[in-house]
Structure 1
Amino acid sequence: MAIRFTIGRKIGLGFGSFIVLTMIAFILTVVTLNDSKRQTEIVVGQVTPSVAELKELNLLLQRSHTNVSKWFYNKSFNDIEFRDELKNIIRIEYPEKKKLLMALSTTWSADEKTQLKVIFGRVETLFKIYQNEIIGQLNSAEAYEDPNIYMMARLPYEDSEVNIKTIYRNLNSLIAFKQEAAEKVKDDMFDSFKFLKGFVQALGITLVIGGLLIALYTTRSITKPIQVLKKMLLSMGLGVLPKERIQTRSDEVGEMGIALNELIQSMEQTTKFAKETGAGKFDANYKPLSKDDSLGHALLKMRDDLAENERSLERKVMERTEEVVRQKSEIENKNEELEILYKQVTDSIHYAKRIQEAILPPESIIDQILPNSFVLFKPKDIVSGDFYWIEKKNNLTYFAAVDCTGHGVPGAFMSLVGHNILKDIISNTDVIKPAEILNKLRDGVINTLHVSNKGTQSKDGMDITLCCINYDTLELQYAAAYNPLYIVRNGELIQHEANKFPIGVFIGEKEDFANTTIQLQKGDQLYLFSDGYADQFGGPKGKKFMVGNFRKVLTHVSSMQVKEQFDHLDKTLSAWQGDLEQVDDVLVIGVKV
């Protein structure tokens, strides 16, 4: 019986070749790395530490040599640091270094051990000379002054100079010998890596060539038919039944092709049946492939359900149509009622606007009472919570910028309350100082709104800046709740602060408003305002205009005529706001003295 050369066997043959070559490379790499590891351990664990410690011993001898020279020549006992260091080298550092080198030398050759012992012997002899003949003799300032003692120390010192040079030569010779050993081990390790590199390169070329051959074979015998199957399945995934068919062959690809051909034929029959059913032909004929064909039986059930649903939907459409017509009529009636109600409310608000405008002084009165001034007034809604108030009593001219709680209709009601109370104070009392007027205004607002400091607090009230000018003496009096007064004099803006409590109920101990008197000069420019201008959002980033920018604008326009100031402030605010919504009522009063 002929052997069937399946896809698995084809792929197994190709990958088997790769595995054999890879195992050869792996085994050779492991052997080379183990040898390199052994040689590296020799360098790292034995040779390198030995060389490093020998160099440390060399440095230690140099330090002792330097310190013994200082001991011999430096007669001062004020500097004892080098003396203590020399004693520490002889007593502590050298024995520790010797102990460490003796431990490392256990793996050295016999010749290297002999050289090390000779060096130790000479070093210890040298250190005995240091201790007995130099340190022991020159142990005080008086010893340095005694010529006999100093001469007795000189001869050993000169002999030690010769001895330490001999020790240096022996020690450097031993260091050089150990370094040559390290280089030899390193060269052997590099030779192993070079061989491994050459072998891996050759094996890599072999793998590439073999891989190309195997890939070419696999592409022709496996990949190409798979690509055809993939193309057909992707087409079916997009809902398009392919026209081509898979050719018969003796492996798994051939079996999949036969199954796919049968599936396409079944899908064509199913598509035809679905189109007929979708077109409303519920008597279309369709035969399942077998009794286990779940899709075929599901299609037949779907056809019957669709037929029943169509009849049910026709009944529901008729019922819903009647309901929609009835609801549409009701909505139209409600819309008409809402339009009437909206018109009534809007007409009422417009009438309230006329009432509010009637209490505000007209331009002719402003020019008469407060000459050389302007009022920039821009309500957010139809009616405003901000209002301006101008009156004259005897030889005093009063004017105020008032910001009531809220805006729109609620703010407008508060503005009527504030205006009427101010009017009553000026007309029916003898009070003339702005601070006293604000005290009475606060009492009037509290009484009118029936609020107190007990229980739930009402936040209704107003912020205000109230000024009083005597044009004969150019004396200005002002009092303010929260909103300050700006005066621009000689190009410099001066801020006069307000009291930090409002016209209304204030939690805490009741305080009187402060009355401030300012002697004006000709050319001074006064500004009263609410917070609407500075709080307006806009600009390239949609941020607030801010108080700082507002001050800069006022300083800039203060030298202009009042009409030009009005136009410039209005255009600046409009340009900043752009297409954004106005966030609050805007009120700015400017008076040039």
Structure 2
Amino acid sequence: MNIRFSIGRRIGFGFAILIVLTLFAFWLTTITIRESSAINDKITTIYTPSVNALRDLNVLVINSKMLISNWVNIQGESEYKPKLKKLIYEEYPHIKNRVNELARNWNQDEQASASGIFSLIDKLFEDHKNIMRQLNSFESYEDPVIKFDVEPMVRDENGEVNVQTRLIIEQLEGLIAVQQKNASVKIDEMDKSFSNLFMVVIVLGIALPVGGILIAVFTVLSIVRPVDELKKMLQKMQRGVMPEEKIRERKDEIGEMSAALNQLVDALKQTTQFAREVGSGNFDSHYTPLSDEDTLGHALLKMRMDLAENERILEQKVEERTAEVVRQKQEIELQKIKIEVLFNHVTDSIKYAKRIQEAILPPESLIKKYLPDSFVLYKPKDIVSGDFYWMEEKSGKVLFAAVDCTGHGVPGAFMSIVGYNQLKLAINKLDTTQPSKILDELSKGVSETLHQKNYEDATAKDGMDISFCSLDRKNNLLEFAGAFNPLYLIRDGELQEIKGNKFPIGVFLGKEARSFTNHKLEVQKGDVIYIFSDGYADQFGGPKGKKFMQNQFKQLLLRIHQDPLDLQRETLDRRIEEWRGDEEQVDDMLVMGVRI
């Protein structure tokens, strides 16, 4: 039976070889690591601890020789005697147990050697104990019989204690050498296994890349190159370009794909020609589907019929919608004209309201007459303003005020008319020039005008903030009362703030009317007085888009208060415009300055 060597079999065979080699390397590495781990465990748990324990035993025997010599030579109590007892009764049994526990893993010869050593040590320590029993008191050291019996055992080079100690140390060193040799043998075995693994890894490291290169070359020649030709043809078709050449057909899966693609190109060329005819409006062009199952071919025929019908319907809709667009355009033009007329009427009305509002403001000549050394910075947010300034002379005193009505623009302007009229009525009604009395009457008049009976019944919280001053130039006396807004007095480079009451003109807080506080100040020549609305300090701007704030406003006034008043007004105007930058003006601004 002829087996077809397909692309899948080719790729599978090549990668199977790489996988087998990789698994072999993994298996060999695992075996080597496992054996090395076992060897390492023996080294760390048997041989190295055995060497250390035998060395400790060797040191113990040497120390015992030194301590028994001190016992014999030193009469009376000594620090060496407790150490010898501890060595024999505590340290030696502990080390003996350690060595016996480790000796379980030794061979029989090594175990026999260890047993012989312990027998010698036990006999040696029995001699030590006998010496300790005989030399157990001060008098025993003076007994010549005991000295004759004990001293040769320790002091003579060939004494029994010295001979036994040398024999034990000699056998211990031999056993230590055996254990060290065992450890070295195991280490050599582990090094050899790793060397073998290293050689296998080198061989596989060369074989795997070479095999991979051979598989890659084979894949490129038999798979990648034909697939690349198919890809280039498909990319041309993706861009809408019909290939002129055909792909060579082979006897494998890629050859079958090449044949199918060649047939598809021929069909698409026929479809392209048909689409051009239909696109040019030739709905009678001929097109024959490839078969009864040719979905695209039958869809193209239906598309030709639908396009012909849609063209007819579209022409009809275009005519209808063109007529509708013309009608709507005419209607929009008419509405635009009406809106422009309405806008002009509203603008004219607001400009007229501005002229009315300007009529109630004191003229420049009146200001210079009553307060020759003064300025007014007046910057409405809109065409009309909710801020206004007021000035009049009564009973030899100059009365002036800076008023901030609720809102700005048209609503604020209406409130300013109410405030102006009620302020005039209050001045004419009262025989006093005391600011607090005038503000009490003004607040009452505003509340009655706006029908603000009490806080609960008031439907609108409309009112105004005000700074009101009465200046007696003859006696250098200034009286002040304020609704929220303060008065600044700068004298000798220091700023004094005289605060107004914390409630406005009109009904806002509480059920009963409140009386305003009257402040009397003795002024001096050179003093500068400032009253203002909150619009200047509340303006947003600066590098971080924050408010100008009262503290910065105070510092600015302190810096410029000695300048001429006209220059002060220009500086204040320029500074707030620089601060505002591209930000919108948030409120009406009003600042009045007077030098005594």
TM-score interval (norm. to shorter): 0.7 to 0.9
> 1:536: which partner in 2?
539
TM-aligned CA deviation for residue 108 of structure 1: 7.2
> 1:274: which partner in 2?
275
Please give the alpha-carbon distance, in whole angstroms, between the structure 1 residues aligned to 2:38 and 2:479.
Answer: 100
Amino acid at match of 1:390: M
Secondary structure of the corresponding residue to residue 464 of structure 2: strand
Flag the 1:520–1:210 CA change in 2: closer, same or farther, 3 A.
farther
Structure 2 counterparts to residues 262-411 of structure 1, below 5 A: 262-411=263-412
Amino acid at match of 2:472: N
Structure 2 counterparts to residues 47-446 of structure 1, below 5 A: 195-446=196-447
TM-aligned CA deviation for residue 352 of structure 1: 0.5
TM-aligned CA deviation for residue 339 of structure 1: 1.4
CA contact (8 A) 1:273 1:286 kept: yes
> 1:15: which partner in 2?
15
Of 560, 564, 569, 1:566 maps to 569
Please give the alpha-carbon distance, in whole angstroms, between the structure 1 residues aligned to 2:466 and 2:193.
Answer: 94
Flag the 1:529–1:213 CA change in 2: closer, same or farther, 3 A.
farther
Secondary structure of the corresponding residue to residue 503 of structure 1: coil
CA contact (8 A) 2:531 2:591 kept: yes
Secondary structure of the corresponding residue to residue 289 of structure 2: coil
Flag the 1:324–1:195 CA change in 2: closer, same or farther, 3 A.
same
Cα-to-partner distance string for 1:142-167 (whole Å, 9 max, x where unaligned): xxxxxxxxxxxxxxxxxxxxxxxx9x
Of 468, 479, 483, 2:481 maps to 479
Amino acid at match of 1:488: I
TM-aligned CA deviation for residue 356 of structure 1: 0.5
CA contact (8 A) 1:467 1:479 kept: yes
Amino acid at match of 2:5: F
CA contact (8 A) 2:439 2:505 kept: yes
Q: Which moved more, 1:552-561 or 1:377-386?
A: 552-561
Cα-to-partner distance string for 1:10-42 (whole Å, 9 max, x where unaligned): 211221121111011110121123234445656
Cα-to-partner distance string for 1:447-486 (whole Å, 9 max, x where unaligned): 1111222246522122222222222333332222223333
Of 508, 516, 523, 2:510 maps to 508
Amino acid at match of 2:501: N
Please give the alpha-carbon distance, in whole angstroms, between the structure 2 residues aligned to 1:568 and 1:407.
Answer: 24
Flag the 1:254–1:361 CA change in 2: closer, same or farther, 3 A.
same
TM-aligned CA deviation for residue 180 of structure 1: 11
Please give the alpha-carbon distance, in whole angstroms, between the structure 2 residues aligned to 1:350 and 1:518.
Answer: 41
> 1:58: which partner in 2?
none
Amino acid at match of 2:320: E
Flag the 1:180–1:368 CA change in 2: closer, same or farther, 3 A.
farther
Please give the alpha-carbon distance, in whole angstroms, between the structure 2 residues aligned to 1:549 and 1:175.
Answer: 91
TM-aligned CA deviation for residue 53 of structure 1: 12
Amino acid at match of 2:33: L
CA contact (8 A) 1:50 1:104 kept: no
CA contact (8 A) 2:455 2:511 kept: no
Please give the alpha-carbon distance, in whole angstroms, between the structure 2 residues aligned to 1:26 and 1:357.
Answer: 99
Amino acid at match of 2:27: I
Flag the 1:187–1:581 CA change in 2: closer, same or farther, 3 A.
farther
Secondary structure of the corresponding residue to residue 584 of structure 2: coil
Q: Which moved more, 1:332-341 or 1:42-51?
A: 42-51
Cα-to-partner distance string for 1:487-508 (whole Å, 9 max, x where unaligned): 3333344433332222232233
TM-aligned CA deviation for residue 411 of structure 1: 0.8
Amino acid at match of 2:434: K
TM-aligned CA deviation for residue 540 of structure 1: 3.8
Flag the 1:508–1:287 CA change in 2: closer, same or farther, 3 A.
same
Q: What are structure 1's unaligned runs of at least 5 residues?
A: 55-93, 134-165
Please give the alpha-carbon distance, in whole angstroms, between the structure 2 residues aligned to 1:480 and 1:274.
Answer: 87
- TM-score norm. by structure 2 comes to 0.75
Flag the 1:324–1:39 CA change in 2: closer, same or farther, 3 A.
same
TM-aligned CA deviation for residue 274 of structure 1: 1.9
Please give the alpha-carbon distance, in whole angstroms, between the structure 1 residues aligned to 2:411 and 2:100.
Answer: 97
Please give the alpha-carbon distance, in whole angstroms, between the structure 2 residues aligned to 1:194 and 1:480.
Answer: 100
Please give the alpha-carbon distance, in whole angstroms, between the structure 2 residues aligned to 1:401 and 1:188.
Answer: 105
TM-aligned CA deviation for residue 366 of structure 1: 1.4
Please give the alpha-carbon distance, in whole angstroms, between the structure 2 residues aligned to 1:116 and 1:470.
Answer: 124
CA contact (8 A) 1:479 1:498 kept: yes
TM-aligned CA deviation for residue 348 of structure 1: 0.7
CA contact (8 A) 1:425 1:431 kept: no
> 2:152: which partner in 1?
none
Flag the 1:449–1:198 CA change in 2: closer, same or farther, 3 A.
farther
Cα-to-partner distance string for 1:125-146 (whole Å, 9 max, x where unaligned): 99xx9xxx9xxxxxxxxxxxxx
Please give the alpha-carbon distance, in whole angstroms, between the structure 1 residues aligned to 2:483 and 2:116.
Answer: 102
Please give the alpha-carbon distance, in whole angstroms, between the structure 2 residues aligned to 1:43 and 1:373.
Answer: 104
Please give the alpha-carbon distance, in whole angstroms, between the structure 2 residues aligned to 1:521 and 1:313.
Answer: 90
TM-aligned CA deviation for residue 46 of structure 1: 8.0
Amino acid at match of 1:498: G
Please give the alpha-carbon distance, in whole angstroms, between the structure 2 residues aligned to 1:223 and 1:495.
Answer: 90
Please give the alpha-carbon distance, in whole angstroms, between the structure 1 residues aligned to 2:531 and 2:258.
Answer: 90
CA contact (8 A) 2:392 2:399 kept: yes
Secondary structure of the corresponding residue to residue 593 of structure 2: strand
Amino acid at match of 1:339: E
Of 474, 477, 491, 1:489 maps to 491
Flag the 1:289–1:537 CA change in 2: closer, same or farther, 3 A.
farther
Please give the alpha-carbon distance, in whole angstroms, between the structure 2 residues aligned to 1:228 and 1:194.
Answer: 49
Please give the alpha-carbon distance, in whole angstroms, between the structure 2 residues aligned to 1:526 and 1:189.
Answer: 100
> 1:163: which partner in 2?
none
Flag the 1:466–1:11 CA change in 2: closer, same or farther, 3 A.
same
Which of these two proteins has the greater Rg computed from alpha carbons?
2
Flag the 1:19–1:404 CA change in 2: closer, same or farther, 3 A.
same
Please give the alpha-carbon distance, in whole angstroms, between the structure 2 residues aligned to 1:509 and 1:112.
Answer: 110
Please give the alpha-carbon distance, in whole angstroms, between the structure 2 residues aligned to 1:253 and 1:470.
Answer: 111
Amino acid at match of 1:283: D
